[in-house]
Structure 1
Amino acid sequence: MKFGITGLSGSGKSTIFEALTQIVLGEKHKTENCMGTIDVPDIRVGILSDMYKPKKTIYAKIEYFLPAVHNQKSEIKKDQNIWTFVRDCDALIHVVRNFAEYGQEPSTPHKDFLQLDQDIILADYITVEKRIERIEADKKRGKKIDKEESDLLPVCHKNLEDGIPLRRIPEIASAQALKGFAFISAKPMLVLFNNNDENAKFPDCQDLMEKEECMIIRGKLEQELSHMSAEEVGDFLSEYDIKEAARERVIKKSYELLGLISFFTVGEDEVRAWTIKKGTSALDAAEVIHSDIKKGFIRAEVLAYDDLMDAKTYNEARKKGTVRLEGKTYCVNDGDIINFRFNV
């Protein structure tokens, strides 16, 4: 899963990127798009690895993408090139400045959020308007029109015209007929208020926090944490009364935002976490591993992680009857340990 990091100039996007990915950017982010792929922290993977002692242990992955600074200007150009690089992201992290430094104007988080959000809305509005014009021209030429797309675009147009991002309209944001447009305002969004080291409070943005998923991050402090040893991190967290580093909290919230869960495959060769959407069937989960497994699917042998921990061993869990066989339509749960039976 890929998250695009956005925000106005001076909001601390690069600081947040470093805090999340532990990648030191230097000056390159000003001219280059930067990507950080990191392991999703999951204590269950480590415990399963200790149990099976595999040759490889593979955690689920998440990607954080930071567009180059010159592509992040607040002005919207008609060609919308500044948004090209985040269109293929699954969701957005909108960094909002909630700190003031010497010589800076006081922060205006609500105003800053609305400024960039309106830019995003305008970019989608232009896309929709152009497509509607094209459809009308095609109708006059007698070309066949996709009715669902033709019906949904005016709804998009009206909401965007009213300043409403498409993520607020679930049936529009998830409509298959509109997927090809990769609307930016339809992407799930996590708002990160970037505070100074001593401030752990939300700004006075109650209206915004009621509409969007919001979190606090002390960017500079978390950036420092990302480059420390585990022992140093423990001391630092205690000093600032932080229960969990923002990196872990943001990843958890990222998963929640996209409705993601993990299932596991285990064995002597490999213990691995796989990422899927909540509600995914066993058949579709099999395809995440390999298309051949889906093609030749017979049964899924399933054991819940908690049941394995209770039984201590897989064989003991089998004796207790907690290992079960499930069919294609079984809805995979978070923490399921699955052995797919298939034949191709």
Structure 2
Amino acid sequence: MKIGIVGLPYSGKTTFFESLSSDEGTSAEHSKSKSSFSVIKIPDERLDFLTAIFNPRRKVNATLEVDDFMGSSNPEISTYNSKFSVAAKIYDAFILIIRGFEDPSIPLINETIDIERDINIFIEDTTIFDLSFIENRLEKLEKELSRAKNKEEIQKNQQILKRWHNTLQDGIPLREIELTKDEELLQKNYQLLTMKPLVIAINLSDSQIDIANDIISDLNQKFSGKRTRIEPFFARIEKEIMQLPENEREEFMKEYGLKESALRRLLRSTYDLLGLLSFFTVGEDECRAWTIRKGMTAQEAAGVIHTDFFNKFIRAEVVHFDDFKELGSFAKCKEKGVFHLEGKDYIVQDGDIMHIRHG
């Protein structure tokens, strides 16, 4: 999964990326003309607990690949231009960094701080890209229809595209509508930008901590949706947190009234919006969190571990993390009847601890 970090110049986008990379991953070199990327570990207290119990040789977190999209710093050139619309198709979701802080030493792109305006710039520009793409595609399909022998497939695609076009014209991003199976297949081919999940990170100053919840509450009424989340983010504080030793961070956050790093919260929001979940495998060699899509079966999850496990799947031994944590051992879980065998069609739940039996 690849996440695009996007935003206007001087929004704190690169600070966000660098903080994320220094804490949770390893990053590639930054370039003014290209995106830089980092493979980010998804923080998971459940995996931490299992690692403490089993004391394995290594712990492997679930990961996401994150790109810092490098737009133009020239205010005369739109950040979300045609080059962006092409490059951004590779992303599975966006984290949009919005500037909400005042700082005379940092230039303003649009003369004033206006959170709603800057969110709307992104939404409106991506909507225009998608409308243009759909209109061009409909024109091509109309030409293909006149000479096609089998018109049914083309007509079906036309109906879908017209529905999407009407939705966008009504001011609704496509990420907020339920898709049919046919629409999901078509989106895989087209990668429309307004279809991608969106986490909006409002970059605030430490002087705004006390009013952050009010700011987010107001924005939620206007912008939140099924696949849109809005979260506060304090770039300066996060940068300081990442420079501290691990054992000093909690005390530092308490001084600001923060319970956890905003980076971790944003990562979890993105992970959830993508429709992902984690299951675990444990042992003396390794404790690992595996990433799969919600709704995948035990056999499909086994295939994520190794293709042979899919092809030679027999059964999955399953206990949920919550039960294991409460009871403390697999033996106790078996005694209480919460340790069970499942067949290939079992739908894996977030937090399942699994051992795959295979031929």
TM-score, structure 1 as length reference? 0.90
One of 92, 107, 119 as aligned partner of 2:113: 107
Instruction: Tell me the SS of whatever aligns to 2:240.
Output: helix
One of 219, 232, 240 as aligned partner of 1:205: 219
For residue 175 of structure 1, what is the aligned residue in structure 2? 184
For residue 3 of structure 2, what is the aligned residue in structure 1? 3
AA of the residue aligned to 2:169 = E
Following superposition, the deviation at residue 264 of structure 1 comes to 0.6
One of 241, 245, 248 as aligned partner of 1:225: 241
For residue 98 of structure 2, what is the aligned residue in structure 1? 96
**Structure 2: stretches of 5+ with no match in the other structure:** none
- Written as runs of structure 1 = structure 2, the 5 A alignment for 1:171-320 is 171=179, 175-200=184-209, 201=212, 202=215, 204-205=218-219, 207-211=221-225, 212-320=228-336
Following superposition, the deviation at residue 206 of structure 1 comes to 5.3
| Structure 1 residue runs of 4 or more that deviate by more than 6 Å after TM superposition | 23-27
Residues 237-246 or 37-46, more deviating: 37-46
- Measured in 2, the distance between the counterparts of 1:278 and 1:29 equals 35
8 Å CA contact 1:71–1:82 kept in 2: the answer is no
8 Å CA contact 1:149–1:178 kept in 2: the answer is no
For residue 74 of structure 1, what is the aligned residue in structure 2? 78
8 Å CA contact 2:62–2:291 kept in 1: the answer is yes
- Measured in 2, the distance between the counterparts of 1:330 and 1:8 equals 45
Instruction: Tell me the SS of whatever aligns to 2:119.
Output: helix
- Measured in 1, the distance between the counterparts of 2:178 and 2:68 equals 26
Cα deviation digits, residues 89-120 of structure 1 (max 9, x gap): 22111111111221744311111111121111
- Measured in 2, the distance between the counterparts of 1:29 and 1:115 equals 25
Following superposition, the deviation at residue 310 of structure 1 comes to 3.1
AA of the residue aligned to 1:32 = K
Aligned CA distance change for structure 1 residues 269 and 216 (closer, same or farther; 3 Å): same
Instruction: Tell me the SS of whatever aligns to 2:243.
Output: coil
- Measured in 1, the distance between the counterparts of 2:73 and 2:290 equals 33
Aligned CA distance change for structure 1 residues 26 and 277 (closer, same or farther; 3 Å): closer
For residue 140 of structure 1, what is the aligned residue in structure 2? 146
Instruction: Tell me the SS of whatever aligns to 1:107.
Output: coil
Following superposition, the deviation at residue 26 of structure 1 comes to 12
Following superposition, the deviation at residue 326 of structure 1 comes to 0.6
- Measured in 2, the distance between the counterparts of 1:69 and 1:35 equals 14
Following superposition, the deviation at residue 31 of structure 1 comes to 2.4
Following superposition, the deviation at residue 152 of structure 1 comes to 0.2
- Measured in 2, the distance between the counterparts of 1:290 and 1:192 equals 36
- Measured in 2, the distance between the counterparts of 1:205 and 1:320 equals 46
Residues 242-251 or 43-52, more deviating: 43-52
Aligned CA distance change for structure 1 residues 24 and 330 (closer, same or farther; 3 Å): closer
- Measured in 1, the distance between the counterparts of 2:280 and 2:312 equals 20
Residues 175-184 or 226-235, more deviating: 226-235
For residue 151 of structure 1, what is the aligned residue in structure 2? 159
8 Å CA contact 1:99–1:106 kept in 2: the answer is no
8 Å CA contact 1:48–1:266 kept in 2: the answer is yes
AA of the residue aligned to 2:20 = L
For residue 84 of structure 1, what is the aligned residue in structure 2? 86
Aligned CA distance change for structure 1 residues 241 and 322 (closer, same or farther; 3 Å): same
AA of the residue aligned to 2:300 = D
Are residue 63 (structure 1) and residue 70 (structure 2) matched?
A: no
- Written as runs of structure 1 = structure 2, the 5 A alignment for 1:28-67 is 28-67=30-69
Following superposition, the deviation at residue 210 of structure 1 comes to 4.3
Cα deviation digits, residues 283-304 of structure 1 (max 9, x gap): 2211211222111111111111
TM-score, structure 2 as length reference? 0.87
Following superposition, the deviation at residue 191 of structure 1 comes to 0.9
- Measured in 2, the distance between the counterparts of 1:308 and 1:172 equals 37
Aligned CA distance change for structure 1 residues 342 and 206 (closer, same or farther; 3 Å): closer
8 Å CA contact 2:318–2:340 kept in 1: the answer is yes
Following superposition, the deviation at residue 135 of structure 1 comes to 0.6
Residues 196-205 or 221-230, more deviating: 196-205
Aligned CA distance change for structure 1 residues 197 and 29 (closer, same or farther; 3 Å): farther
Residues 118-127 or 94-103, more deviating: 94-103
Q: CA RMSD, aligned part only?
A: 2.5
AA of the residue aligned to 1:208 = K
Q: Give the percent of matched residue pairs that are identical in Structure 1 and Structure 2.
A: 33
Cα deviation digits, residues 155-203 of structure 1 (max 9, x gap): 1122223433211222279622222101110011111111112112216
